[in-house]
Amino acid sequence: MLNIPSQSFPAPGSQQQVASSVQSGRNKVSLKPGHSLMDWIRFSKSGKDLTGLRGRLIDVTQEELQKHNTRKDCWTCIRGMVYNITPYMEFHPGGEEELMKAAGIDGTELFDQVHRWVNYESMLKDCLVGRMATKVTTMNKAIIPPTLTDLAPPTSVALPPGKDSRPWYDWFQTNATVCLVVYTKRKIPSSGCTVVDLEAGVLRLEVHLGKMSYMLHLRLADEVEGNISVQTVCSVGKIQVNLQKQAKRKWPSLGQPLEFHNTFRRKKDRAVYYRDCVLLSKTKVNHNTYLFRLQLPDGTSMNVPAGKHVYLKALIQDTEVVRPYTPVDEKLIVASHHSLKESDIYLMIKVYPDGVLTQHLNNLHIGDHISVSGPEGTFSVRPLRDVTYLYLLAAGTGFTPMARLIRLAIQEIDTIRKTKLLFFNQWEEDILWHGELDKLAASNERFQVEYVLSRPCQSWTGRTGWVDEPMLQDFLNRPDGSKCYVCVCGPTPFTELTIGLLKQQGLTDEELHVFQD
């Protein structure tokens, strides 16, 4: 679920406010008045001692950390730094129970499972107790870490291909160009899996391969032009990056390796990388939702595949605030090649009166800057290749990941006979791209949309109420022999209830994908 506060659905007083027994991810709890993110920012800047140590920083032993494991005295360790999270308990959207799982222990792994994208150092900097003390050990032999050396000359291979599954790279040059080639050793999606950033002579190339990430990171031997060309041969997993030299001469090496160069590791173990984007335009979609168009830097080549999201980051009152958003296309249906060649990012964002980041975005002027991450998320297009019926259930701005799936199913996957969208909102004016959805349904027999309103006006003739078993039975009208796939996105109460109802109807985990933060 992306960009949907849990209180926006269902309506106040609805029975669906009661948590479902089906657990599908991190819960969000109703915070007390005065305990929003902005309230925490103000509280942490109030000058109060949030550590209990009067500003002192200490070395914390394992034994000392374990002593602070209660609700009223709770410390945790994240990446070697210890924080007193007691003051933050009542401000945490996931509730006290979630924080207490890391009480008195190293909570790094738990944190990464749920909050990897959150800048905890900024959020909790006033709660910093100190650093974990390291134990002194006696070693018989000194271990000398390997040093980084210049890359091999153009005639040799940087990493010889082996029998393992590790990608490797090579490079070639002329007097005017440099060509960097990555061999992934597997088929790669046509939607793109490579992000290239070139800034101040530093090249950062990351290839997303499922749960894994292959990275090249180096300072180039000489200056190059800002424009980058990326070519992909999907069937053999070959990625070619072309650069134009500013000075026409041969390089003795590709450049100087930097941190994490030529590494292959789990994507979740890499820090989220941001680049500085520019707001090009802001278009009104409905009464409280806008389409923000962001321009990537000149040295960046990035495509966000369908079903993936990005993180936006902004410094608000000296605190870094990060939120996930799912890109959409400029229009619901565009030319099939659009998403591959369009360098701008479109984000459909609902502006909430008390939304810290959405209010910040709403106040940006054309030409202002915002930090944007690379593609994130677990969604894979691969299961859709064998699907004949695609069912999409969305509530509110949970529609955003569905928008590009609709285009993908209609324009690029011929085996999908029917794509059906069940779209939940409170008021009719809340429906995003209402006109475009109706127009597509009228012109394409492979697409069908139904709307469900919890607060309909008297003239409304469509479905009303909230998601329930009879509604889903009617919606999931699967012909015999069909193979279906269901995607769900919305506020946590909606998502949990919907998943429970779907599984009661016999859907398996292999037939279901849930978009959630």
Backbone angles phi, psi at 98, to 5 degrees: -65, -40
Check if 168-269 and 274-333+340-376 are the same fold. no
CB contact at 8 A, 260 and 217: yes
Nearest to 515 by CA among 418, 344, 392, 383: 392
Is pLDDT above 70 for 92? yes
Cross-sheet strand order for the sheet of 369-373: 319-325, 310-316, 369-373, 274-284, 289-295, 344-350, 327-328
Taking the C-alpha atoms of residue 376 and residue 394, their distance in angstroms, rounded to an integer, is 20
Taking the C-alpha atoms of residue 162 and residue 168, their distance in angstroms, rounded to an integer, is 9
Q: Which amino acid is at 242?
A: N
Position 339 confidence tier, pLDDT thresholds 50, 70, 90? very low
Highest CATH level, class, for 37-132:
alpha beta
Q: Domain 382-514 belongs to what architecture?
A: 3-Layer(aba) Sandwich (3.40)
Position 1 confidence tier, pLDDT thresholds 50, 70, 90? very low
Condensed to tens digits (0 to 9), the pLDDT of residues 493-512 reads: 999 999 999 999 989 999 99
Instruction: Output the CA angle 33-34-35, nearest 5 degrees.
Output: 95
pLDDT of res. 138: 43
> Taking residues 51-79, what's their average pLDDT?
90
Average pLDDT, the chain: 85
Q: How far apart are the first and last CA of the chain?
A: 5
pLDDT of res. 23: 34
CA atoms within 13 A on the CB side of 486: 23
Taking the C-alpha atoms of residue 29 and residue 12, their distance in angstroms, rounded to an integer, is 14
Position 39 confidence tier, pLDDT thresholds 50, 70, 90? confident
More confident residue, 516 or 19: 516
pLDDT of res. 135: 60
Residue 55 CB neighbour total at 10 angstroms: 7
Taking the C-alpha atoms of residue 395 and residue 443, their distance in angstroms, rounded to an integer, is 24
Backbone angles phi, psi at 59, to 5 degrees: -85, 125
pLDDT of res. 163: 54
| Sign of CA pseudo-dihedral 510, 512, 515, 517 | negative
User: Beta 512-515 vs 484-489: how paired, if at all?
Assistant: parallel
CA 128 to chain centre: 27
Q: Which amino acid is at 271?
A: A
pLDDT of res. 336: 54
> Taking residues 155-181, what's their average pLDDT?
77
Is pLDDT above 50 for 241? yes
More confident residue, 478 or 232: 232
Q: Which amino acid is at 253?
A: S
Percent of the chain with pLDDT over 70: 86
Q: Which amino acid is at 334?
A: V
Kindly list the distances between the CA atom of residue 190 and the CA atoms of 187, 401, 468, in Å, as whole numbers in the listed order: 9, 18, 37
Residues sharing a CB contact under 8 Å with residue 310, sequence separation 6 or more, in sequence order: 304, 324, 325, 326, 327, 345, 347, 372, 373, 374, 375, 376
Is pLDDT above 90 for 431? yes
> Taking residues 250-278, what's their average pLDDT?
94
Taking the C-alpha atoms of residue 106 and residue 103, their distance in angstroms, rounded to an integer, is 8
Both structure tokens of 88: 């933050």
Collapse the DSSP code of 285 into the 3-class scheme (helix H, G, I; strand E, B; otherwise coil) and give the result: coil
Residue 9 CB neighbour total at 10 angstroms: 25
Nearest to 224 by CA among 242, 236, 238: 242
Position 259 confidence tier, pLDDT thresholds 50, 70, 90? very high
Position 279 confidence tier, pLDDT thresholds 50, 70, 90? very high
Q: What is the CA radius of gyration of the chain?
A: 25
pLDDT of res. 342: 59
> Taking residues 74-103, what's their average pLDDT?
88
Taking the C-alpha atoms of residue 513 and residue 361, their distance in angstroms, rounded to an integer, is 29
CA 223 to chain centre: 32
Both structure tokens of 248: 């026409």
Tell me the residue ranges of DSSP E strands in 160-296: 168-173, 177-183, 194-199, 202-209, 212-220, 229-233, 238-244, 255-257, 263-266, 274-284, 289-295
pLDDT of res. 12: 37
More confident residue, 398 or 516: 398
CB contact at 8 A, 191 and 327: no
Q: Which amino acid is at 2?
A: L
Total-model pTM: 0.77
Condensed to tens digits (0 to 9), the pLDDT of residues 103-159 reads: 999 988 888 777 766 778 888 888 999 988 876 444 443 333 333 333 333 333 444
Collapse the DSSP code of 399 into the 3-class scheme (helix H, G, I; strand E, B; otherwise coil) and give the result: helix
pLDDT of res. 30: 66
| Domain map (residue ranges) of the chain | 37-132, 168-269, 274-333+340-376, 382-514
DSSP state of 309: B
CATH for 168-269 (2.60.40.790, 1.10.3720.10, 3.40.50.300, 1.10.3470.10):
2.60.40.790
Give the ranges where 194-323 is alpha helix by DSSP (H). Answer: none
Condensed to tens digits (0 to 9), the pLDDT of residues 451-468 reads: 999 999 999 999 999 999
Q: Which fold has domain 274-333+340-376?
A: Elongation Factor Tu (Ef-tu); domain 3 (2.40.30)
CB contact at 8 A, 329 and 346: yes
CB contact at 8 A, 60 and 135: no
pLDDT of res. 82: 93
Q: Which of 149-158, 288-297, 474-483 has the highest mean pLDDT?
A: 288-297
pLDDT of res. 4: 34
DSSP state of 288: S
Position 28 confidence tier, pLDDT thresholds 50, 70, 90? low
Is pLDDT above 90 for 213? yes
Q: Which of 52-56, 148-152, 290-294 has the highest mean pLDDT?
A: 290-294
DSSP state of 374: -
